[in-house]
Structure 1
Amino acid sequence: MLVGQESLCDFATIQAAVDALERLPSEEPAEIHILSGVYEESVRIYRSNLSLVGIGQVEIVMNRYARERDEHGNEIGTFATPTLFLGGSRLLVENIIIANTAGQGEKIGQALAVYAHCDLTVFRNCTLKGHQDTLFTGPLPPSPKRPTSKFGGVPLRERHARFRQLYQNCRIEGTVDFIFGGATAYFEQCEIRSLCRVEEGAVRPAYITAASTPQEQAYGYVFRDCYLTAAEDVPEASVYLGRPWREFAKTAFVHCRTGGHIHPVGWDNWNNPANERTVRYGEYGVKNAAELKGQRAPWTECTVEAGDMWSKEQVFGGISFFETGKLIFD
């Protein structure tokens, strides 16, 4: 299927193409190609076995935010805000910019660009733009932190046994916890760009990751050969590598390059010292590990050696991601 504004296209919007495919059996692979343009829409995809490929410069844009009010006057919440929602498995998203342009601040709150409630999924050559909570990698934790609250948001039709995602050559930007969730997610040669966090007129500390890795899951977030950059107005030593959204968070940076915006301590316990005993946070393949280790939080790892345990093959347990974008499942 082809999406675009030209008369030769099958559909003018991405969601219309998705809806047409979701009326068909999902066992057979399907492809949606999107011509250059800005598509102002929220896209929900429940289908599996789907490739979503941009041709030229393709941007999906929406501006929903957590403190937006619904028709009853209630806040819609974080998980009702994504520009793109993915709920299936065996998915490819390639060469697409996905943005939530709601902005930041106390009146906005969280605003998702991507809600990746999906398994066996590849994002390749994509740019994800937002501020707080740019990318959520499912699954949701078993329950919210506050007993009286609920997650809400986009209805979930499929509960995957595992959530495995690969991000290749992507650019992901944001301010607070802008990569968060419970998936086993591998970021390969990505630019992870921190933006300046401003709240109540003041610059605040920022956090790249907020993993909620399930206790029984071997891997959470792995960043391999990534580049941690920052916008010009981000202060030196103001950004933390991560803090745990849940107590068994796992995050590793392997052979990554970091800018001066990263705080020397590196990691934060989210105001709960008990998290220090249960998280697994580390940096591996660090040339100046001996010097850096003395600055980093003592409950995290920082080593010169990386080892084979952080290879893509090891993390995904024998699943191969074919270089052309076709997925092969062993």
Structure 2
Amino acid sequence: MTFAEGEGVQSAKPKGSACQATRTPDTCASSLTSPPSDPLPPNPTTADLISLSLSLPIRSLPAAQSMSQSILQSSQPSNLNKSNAARNCLELLSFSATRLNSTAQILQRGGGQIKTSRAYTSAALLYQYDCWSALKYVNDSQQVNATMSYLLSLIGFTSDSLSMLVALDRFGPDTSRWGPPKTERDGYFERTGSGGGGGGLAEGGVPGDLVVDATVCKGGGCEYRTVQDAVDRAPVWGDRRFVIYIKAGVYDEIVRVPFERTNVVFLGEGMGKTVITGNLNVGMVGVSTYNTATVGVSGDGFMAKDLTIENTAGPDAHQAVAFRSDSDLSVIESVEFRGHQDTLYAHSLRQQLSPAKGETDAVTAQGRTDPVQSTGFVFLNCSIDGDNEFMGYFYAKPAIHKVYLGRPWKEFSRTVFVDCYMGKVVCSDALEKRRLLCEGTP
């Protein structure tokens, strides 16, 4: 469905019926009744209602960014944890603004896929929540507390907008048919297909005919010695694949693919041969889970194939991410993720994951905070097991080396494993009681 298909539809009480699709109908109706500007026309269409709802978080974001900037300025240099939280907020809120504005542009054009707008708005909501969550751990002043309160109202506005997009997608443009959001817990499973729950992922995985643009090798003799140097060469807002070929070797570095570096591709020479490694963890001062990633990707259209990404911080270091992705429409194929806790952090948007294996205490920790967010994990044709070192410990004392497929990190977490091999390391009594097929059986 496109927005254009619902532009001319009206209902008798459009505001009230549209707000029935949200988690807080009364608050939603109040916010739509007294907008700061751009009041609704006498006979608003469904698109008018969603545009008005979306304008509220867009207009509220600059103030949230300003408040985060003030926290950063007041916390330096004495409080590294607080300054890092504020810095993360500024980055996350910037991402949120970009995604919401992209949705608004789709609305203004009167067309475009609703599921794409849902994905963008879901990500925007997540970024706002993560900013709030980061500040929660450093809330030692009225300044931080006031910012958190403001963020909660911003989160509410964005949740309302997303709920309306989901209702339009599910029920159609007649708002009198709209109802509150439902999830799998209510017995509702959204249909997938072209566009699916997230939509738009590459067919067939990483293309096999890619042309290399930059080559990285550890010992010299190539254009670049570090992966980050090659990433920095990628064009800003590139509309074609920028392929980085990473030769065999261990690259001890922290890699960041910025938001504006789009369509970047990492090609290695094989798992265990091309290795990107780091050891950042939350036990370090001024480092949050978000910052611990050995490889962190924000640019859309990212692809990776035939390499290993690891975080070597030990099990006592708690959260230590190997790979974090905020890249929309990214594809990860034949990539080994190694770590202990929160190894893979698919932070937001749509990724196709076909990892080879992972060693961790909890394979996943999915963090959907709102029932209308189009987020979740789907692992396809993967292998979940421990490496030789870990399995030695596991066989010696299996009772104290427990590994779980996932933990419900937030209220509406959801994770799916499809055609995956699960070794003995995840075949606990609790799993067997649920009749999961383990050891040697896909």
Q: TM-score, normalised by structure 2?
A: 0.44
Q: Decide which structure has greater strand share.
A: 1
- 138, 157, 167: which one aligns with 2:353: 167
Match of 2:324 in 1: 115
Distance 2:415 2:408 in 1: 9
- Asked if 1:83 corresponds to 2:243, the answer is no
- 2-side partners of 1:259 and 1:303: how far apart? 11
Q: How does 1:1-330 map onto structure 2 within 5 Å? A: 1-5=214-218, 7-22=220-235, 24-46=236-258, 47-55=261-269, 57-69=273-285, 75-105=286-316, 108-139=317-348, 163-175=349-361, 207-213=362-368, 214-217=370-373, 220-230=376-386, 231-234=391-394, 235=398, 238-261=402-425, 262-266=427-431, 295-296=433-434
How far did residue 170 of structure 1 move? 2.0
Query: Post-superposition shift, 1:31?
Result: 1.0
- The structure in which a higher percent of residues are helix is 2
Structure with more relative contact order (C-alpha pairs < 8 Å, separation 6 or more): 2
CA distance in 2, matches of 1:138, 1:49: 18
* Equivalent position SS for 1:32: strand
Quote the offset at 1:112 in angstroms.
0.9
Deviations 1:15-38 (A, max 9, x none): 11111225x452232111111111
Q: Is the 8 A contact 2:358 2:383 kept in 1?
A: no
Asked if the contact 2:215–2:222 (Cα under 8 Å) also holds between the matched residues in 1, the reply is yes
% identity of equivalent residues: 32
Question: What is the distance in 2 between the residues matched to 1:125 and 1:48?
Answer: 21
Give the Cα–Cα distance (whole angstroms) in 2 for the partners of residues 6 and 243 of structure 1.
Answer: 41
Shift of residue 58 of structure 1?
Answer: 1.0
Distance change >3 Å, CA 138–CA 222, structure 1 → 2 = same
Q: TM-score, normalised by structure 1?
A: 0.57
Distance 1:37 1:226 in 2: 24
Q: Once the two structures are superposed, what CA deviation does each residue of 1:281-305 show, in whole Å capped at 9, x if it has no partner? A: xxxxxxxxxxx5xx33xxxxx699x
Q: In structure 2, do the counterparts of structure 1 residues 259 and 55 end up closer, same or farther at CA, with 3 Å as the change threshold?
A: closer
Give the distance between the partners of 2:220 and 2:417, measured in 1 at CA.
Answer: 47
Classify the secondary structure of the residue corresponding to 1:211.
coil
Relative to structure 1, is the Cα distance of residues 227 and 260 closer, same or farther in structure 2, using a 3 angstrom cutoff? same
Letter of the 1:78 partner, please give it: T
Q: Distance in 2 between matches of 1:132 and 1:229?
A: 14
Structure 2 unmatched runs, 5+: 1-213, 438-442
Q: Which residue of 1 aligns with 2:46?
A: none
The alpha carbon displacement at 1:52 in A equals 1.0
CA contact (8 A) 2:293 2:320 kept: yes
- Which range moved further: 8-17 or 232-241? 232-241
Instruction: List alignment gaps of at least 5 residues for structure 1.
Output: 70-74, 140-162, 176-206, 267-291, 297-301, 305-330
Question: Which structure's CA Rg is the greater one?
Answer: 2
CA RMSD of aligned residues (A): 2.5
